[in-house]
Chain A
Amino acid sequence: MWADRLATLPVIVIGIWAVLLTVVDLYIPSQRKGVTAALAAVGLIIGLVTNALGSGTAQTAYFGMAVVDGFSSFLNVIFLVSGLLGIALAYGYLHRQNIAHSEYYPLLLFSISGMMLMGMAADLIMVFIALELLSIPLYVMAGFHRDRLDSEEAALKYFLLGAFAGGFVVYGIALAYGASGSTRIAAILSAVQSGNASPVLLTIGAALILVGLGFKVAAVPFHMWTPDVYQGAPSSVTAFMAVGAKAAGFAALLRVFLLAFPTLSDQLVPLLWALAALTMIVGNVVAIAQNNIKRLLAYSSIAHAGYILMAAVNLGQTRLMTESAAAVLFYLFAYLLTNFGAWAVVITLEGQEGRGLDLSDYAGLGKSHPALAAAMTVFMLSLIGVPPTMGFLGKFYLFRAVLEGGFVGLALIGVLTSLVSAYYYLRVVIVMYMQEGEPLVNRDALLRWSAGLTAVAIIALSLFATPLFQWASQATLYAVK
């Protein structure tokens, strides 16, 4: 029992820290709420340290409900770092928007603990619990701008569609349970292999789980909520949602599908193929028409979900399982840095009442704030996938996995849609450098540091990528016996 707790220490730390922070916050005077933010960051750093000190050997915990392996500890880093960046982006922003309620930080921690659980879930029930744990705080955070209608709308939309998606997942779990007699991923697999599971029921169950997780990662056609929610929610929440919630969704998707349903590949692969292709095409094509930077990044995040989904198409090809998972992890890491950097710039320019969010508000940034504009250029190039950036290496690794799986057509759709994406990402660059204007820029040291450091990291890590590649390729999914 103690070994289980030790193995899952990072998530325990974050969970307890969140509870304590909620209480401690009550005793912090209202003019010194910065302390709450700092304490939350300390909690995340402790989480990172305990995660790094983990034994490194894969093991199950809590009677097979959870599994701790390289995959989950890589994801923990992604979640914890996105929490840290989320705090850095939120702190000044919440003050400027007059919504500096300090519940924000405990909610963030609760959500992160849900994400971390999601990465460890070895049982479908666990997937569901983690899904709710990560989502409910996000619903609240999306509506953090209480007195603004679009924020309320975002929260309600996110909540309703999230609940709906949760229903799909539960129904899928029920069917999978009915088909195989267990909710354990390992038990489902062995039931399938021994021929005791009803394949029809299981396929329907898997498809329903896919729909539910598709909502979470914003895959087309389950993406309709994304633009409105991303636009309406406070920008710091959107940035966090776009990385953390997406990564968690993919974590569950990969673990459940690659480990539990490899035998259903005949039925599921065409489904995943179509889902990935649609997501890439719709996300990128619709993004062209956007003039609001938040909506543009929302569609861009849909498109990137499509790229990541490509790796799941290797379902059933056991020899490629490790590499596909590694490619997804690497891509998520690249996306983490790039996306947070881009949002840091967006928040730097965002004014009151949703001002400063149009593309035209970026005119002249290249002249008035060269460093900020250069950082934004790096982020846009990384989102396109132009070397030398992490975004390029991420795409490179993903496309390699897809090509090795033999899906040349899908890879072709992938590269052609990245070409489309170049158009709208470059529009941002064009406006910054090639149009005249006087952009209004907030003075916020945390944001500048976040943007600067992520930009440098995106280039530096792409030039010296070996450790990251090795780390990702060792972050294998542990197949529980």
Chain B
Amino acid sequence: MDSIFHPLTLVTFLPLVGVVIILFLREEQKEIIRWVALGVSLVTFVVSLVVLAQFQPGNPDLQLVIRRVWIQVAGWDIAYHLGVDGLSILLVLLTTFLTPISILSTWTAIEERVKEFMIFFLLLEVGMVGVFLALDLFLFYIFWEFTLVPMYFLIGIWGGPRRMYAAIKFFLYTMAGSILMLLAILWLGIQGGTFSLPELVAQNNIPANTQLWLFLAFAAAFAIKVPMWPLHSWLPDAHVEAPTAGSVILAGVLLKMGTYGFLRFNLALFPQAAVQLAPIIAVLAVIGILYGAAVSFPQQDVKKLVAYSSVSHLGFVMLGLFALNPQGIQGGILQMINHGISTGALFLVVGMIYERRHTRDMDAFGGLWKIMPIYGALTLIVALSSMGLPGLNGFVGEFTILLGAWEAGQSGGSLGSYFYAGFAAIGVILAAIYMLTMFQKLFLGPVDKEENRTLKDLNWREIVTLVPLIVLIFWIGLYPKPFFSLMAPAVDKLVGNLALSIAALP
């Protein structure tokens, strides 16, 4: 019984309770279904706060670990093995935090097949939380692949006109990477005799040459998910076609599964390969920052603009992680959270206007500030946070990453050149350009479209959806210390292990 009521088990599988309840409701009982989904996801959030309360911030190790043998197969024990540490705690909270917000945003947007929608959404939450908590490679893979299925349906059923194309592209792209990871996981299992991540890390006996191949196999799965340039082409399609709540979760959490994978698996399991490949990955990350920003600028579709800006922002995260020093990695983790909050909020904002006008073409708007002042003000905060204005969350993350990249640029650092930080800094400027252009086209200028004059400002439900995000934007922007202190010990430990590997390099 203790394994069922273990806080990590609860926070992972609680949404299934909602699924079961909703299964017994009829399709017509839309209101009840929505409330059940919202209620269950809120309870899950509360449970994740309990996990946070039990979490010891000063402890760099995995905590609240639960490990039970699950499947025994010919000499292998596959374990139900969960645990949380400073690398994952914030991502778990982000997931449980964004899920109820996303569900709230569907209140009037999703009218068709509400029952199935909520079932898939809650199943998706199970998969996502599981990915961040799993410590057994096999279990991790199951959660990882499992997230594909509900997201595939969310895009494919409730998406835009090209939803089928986008859904299948999303599925195939992601699966292309993850099957290579599966082979690498099997290889690790055969060599190490276990799938347990802590045990495999402790063995630390993979020859450098093999590490390179395994690193690449894992990286294939994660780089597509992040997505890193040039593997990003599924992202704009998926984002544009997905329903608003799907986009929020896709950008807010699913992409983080990729960056988290690099952090948790590639850096820990293959430290030497990570050090060797860090400059290459950093180059791709910087290209992603600049490319994402450059392509965002000319977009007419607001959602596409936000989608490409994600490529740019996640480039920052990757640059931070592969600076391989405490500042870079801490900045990277914080930027994962920031991106989840800011881009999640941006997609919500876009969804609100789309629900009113059924278009996302920037030229269809203009002067909205006069008609919808609350909406304008909230959007401004979100846009400013996304472009990294000091005092808001984006700045803290990007600045820390740039610090880390700069330090890594010194001789002896993992990158060995200041160019990375230099070019990445240009991305910050570009972000300001495309974000402000978007804001200007939407909100400023005269109201020259008749249809826009009658638009209603945000209602209470919509404000409630955005306010928690706004609060966090200010909180992280003004006082990020609690967030950093949650992750710092674990990051220091990880960097310590990496440093040993760097020292071992010829």
A contact residues vs B (CB 8 Å cutoff): 323, 326, 366-367, 370, 381, 386-388, 392, 396-397, 399-400, 403-404, 408, 411-412, 415-416, 418-419, 422-423, 426-427, 430, 433-434, 465-466, 469-470, 473
Contacts and interface: CB of A to CB of B under 8 A. Distances in A.
14 contacts: A387-B142, A388-B142, A396-B138, A403-B183, A415-B180, A419-B179, A423-B168, A426-B152, A430-B156, A430-B164, A430-B168, A434-B164, A466-B71, A469-B73
B167 A434 contact: yes
B183 A473 contact: no
A470 B153 contact: no
B418 interface: no
Interface stretch (B99-107, B186-194, B329-337): B186-194
Interface stretch (B3-11, B169-177, B293-301): B169-177
Given A392-B145, A430-B168, 4 more contacts: A388-B142, A399-B182, A422-B171, A465-B71
Nearest to A397: B73
Contacts of A427: 168
A473 B175 contact: no
B141 interface: yes
Contacts of A387: 141-142, 145-146
A430 B152 CA distance: 10
B73 A403 contact: no
Majority SS at the chain A contact face: helix
Interface in B64-97: 70-74
B157 interface: yes
Contacts of A366: 157
Q: Which of A367, A400, A416 has the most CB of B within 10 A?
A: A400
A434 B164 CA distance: 7
B146 A470 contact: no
List the 5 closest A-B pairs by CB distance, nearest first.
A415-B179, A387-B142, A469-B73, A473-B74, A434-B156
A412 B213 CA distance: 13
Given A399-B182, A403-B187, A411-B183, A433 B72 contact: no
Nearest to A467: B72
B163 interface: yes
B418 to A, nearest CB: 39
A473 B180 CA distance: 26
B145 A386 contact: yes
A235 B334 CA distance: 57
Interface in B141-164: 141-142, 145-146, 148-149, 152-153, 156-157, 163-164
Given A416-B179, A419-B179, A403 B186 contact: yes
Contacts of A326: 74
A422 B145 CA distance: 13
A400 B180 CA distance: 13
Q: Which of B74, B141, B157 has the most CB of A within 10 A?
A: B74
Q: For chain B, give the interface size range.
A: 20 to 34
Interface of B: 70-74, 113, 116, 138, 141-142, 145-146, 148-149, 152-153, 156-157, 163-164, 167-168, 171-172, 175-176, 179-180, 182-183, 186-187, 189-190
Nearest to A435: B164
Contact of A469 (B74, B176, B187): B74
A404 B179 contact: no
A466 B72 CA distance: 5
B33 to A, nearest CB: 14
A13 B168 CA distance: 49
Nearest to B74: A473
B388 to A, nearest CB: 38
Contacts of A415: 179-180, 182-183
B345 to A, nearest CB: 29
A386 B183 contact: no
Contacts of A381: 149
Nearest to B148: A386
A65 B112 CA distance: 64
Contact of A323 (B74, B116, B146, B186): B74
B80 to A, nearest CB: 10
A422 to B, nearest CB: 6
Q: Which of A388, A397, A418, A434 has the most CB of B within 10 A?
A: A434
A213 to B, nearest CB: 26
A263 B71 CA distance: 35
Contacts of B168: 423, 426-427, 430
B72 A399 contact: no
B172 A422 contact: yes
Contacts of A469: 71-74
A104 B182 CA distance: 44
A396 B167 contact: no
Contacts of A399: 182-183, 186
Contacts of B186: 396, 399-400, 403, 411
A235 to B, nearest CB: 27
A419 B172 contact: yes
Contacts of A412: 183
B498 to A, nearest CB: 28
A323 B190 CA distance: 13
A423 B172 contact: yes
A470 B190 contact: no
Contacts of A323: 74
Contact of A418 (B153, B179, B190): B179
Contacts of B153: 433
A25 B157 CA distance: 50
A366 B171 CA distance: 19
